[in-house]
Chains A and B, each alone.
Chain A
Amino acid sequence: MMGFLQSGLDSLPVAAAMMQFRPPVASSVANSVDQLYLMLTGITIFFSVLIFSIIFYFMLKYRRKSPGESGTATHTPMILELTWTIIPSLICVVLFVWSSSLYVRNGRPPASSTEIFVIGKQWMWHLQHPEGPREINELHVPVGVPVKLTMTSQDVIHDFYIPAFRVKKDVLPGRYSQIWFQPTETGTFHLFCAQYCGTNHSEMIGWVYVMSDGDYATWLAGGEKTESMAQQGERLFSQFGCGSCHSADAAGRAPSLAGIYGKPEKTQNGETRIVDEALIRQAILVPNSVHLPNYQPIMPTYQGQIDEEQMLQLIAYVKSLGSEERMNGK
């Protein structure tokens, strides 16, 4: 018995037992989130124990001794009321500042992130790497490299959640949401849908494989040879005949798309918007809502003709035009 206690005091088994209830720590932000979590747990335990012990003490000390007895009137000292109003307020301020600055910091993807595209649909995750390989319910990423996910849904609202990375974001139809992470450990981690999405919601799960650089390169090379997303997008671009208007030589009919990604553009109704994924999507589906002032609104809608996957490929293509232009030094 004493031996058991002794080993308990050594805290190793305790720590091991505690670790059982901690999800893997596998991304650059996971530890900082856990530190805040630990602080909050500490505060919870401190105040719970404080309240519980005061209550138990009073329960024993002031238990009713005779049936007719009543309590003794006490005053309400203002100083006490102020104390237990102000102290919790200060704690809340500290927690707010801590958690918010952490949130803002964790929310900003590094500029060097590689981008992977995600489509959620009932009930699976489709992912596509920029180099072209597609995956279903699996995500292979190299360790140590920041990865940005651009996600959309084909039907209902889903939520992309990797507990080991402490990241989660809703995936909505009709918009692009983004998260990023930088894996710090190789291994295999759960990927969940965390927003109820219908019958097989609980089967919309998968695995994230974090691999060493070498393994990742092998994996990437190992699969079927596919075109990159941008190339696939380029093929769609010519297939739908987009190039007949959107090209440098079709003077005046539609804006050239070279280098347009990331640039601010002024639309017909006067607002200035950065050309991003959402705007490109809108321009393809509801062209008249965003057409540029110097051009005729002649573009037809492609609503219903382009699925979410093709849309992402077209976006990848438009983005690649921008980067080529920059490379050519124009």
Chain B
Amino acid sequence: MAELATHGAHPQGFAHQFEDIEQQRDAGRLGMWVFLVTEILFFGGMFTSYTIYRALHLESFIQGSHQLEVKFGATNTAVLIFSSLTMALAIRAAQTGKKKGHIIFWLILTMALGALFVGLKLRFEWYRDYVDGIIPGVHWFYNGPHAPGVKMFMCFYFFMTGLHAIHMIIGLGILAVLVIMTARDRFSAEYYSPLEISGLYWHFVDIVWIFLFPLLYLIGGRY
């Protein structure tokens, strides 16, 4: 498939099936948007189920929400919002043709924030939940009020934050690849689509969290 030469000279990263780099960029961008639509429906199925059960068992869901530590959720929200900023700055750096060290700096910072998010989640939330015995089906010793409904709530809590965390980890993998690509001079002010569309993905994952945080941590007028 090395027919690159047949289309004459093209910038680095150009794929043979396209006519020009502009078309390639448009295609990549559209592809990511369409993929994000899929993602919305993916999480949408979960949000719908959550909404239905929340309506059916509101009191239990409030009780369940009280099992969570708002301070960690809030901290993580801040961490993620900040990581969206650093991601945007990485793209901005590429767009304005900054040195590659510049781009890598912002990418690594984004990765660090993402890792911090996952780390906080694991150490201070899921691990504690395990110790406290409020992981349904795995380690479950809750015997307060509304036990069945709280169990249901905790299920959704773990499914939704779990799916979100998987997306975060995939995002970290993508960022790692971007760091390597940047280090190998694959991007320029003309061509930085992979950075741009990965940024779309990263922002999307952030936005999902922005919905998860109030739905899971802040129900029942606690604050």
Contact = CB atoms under 8 A, between A and B. Distances in A.
A286 B60 CA distance: 12
Contacts of B148: 286
6 contacts: A269-B58, A269-B59, A286-B148, A288-B145, A288-B146, A289-B59
Contacts of A286: 148
Nearest to B56: A289
Contacts of B146: 288
Nearest to B60: A289
Interface residues of A, number: 4
Interface in B107-149: 145-146, 148
A214 B145 CA distance: 55
A289 B59 CA distance: 9
Interface string B32-56: 0000000000000000000000000
Contacts of A289: 59
Contacts of B145: 288
A169 B57 CA distance: 27
Interface in A187-201: none
Contacts of A269: 58-59
Interface string A253-292: 0000000000000000100000000000000001011000
Interface in B168-195: none
A286 B145 CA distance: 12
Best-surrounded residue of A269, A288, A289 (most CB of chain B within 10 A): A289
B220 to A, nearest CB: 13
A269 B146 CA distance: 14
A289 B148 CA distance: 12
A286 B57 CA distance: 12
The 5 A-B residue pairs whose C-beta atoms are closest, nearest first, are A269-B59, A269-B58, A286-B148, A288-B145, A288-B146
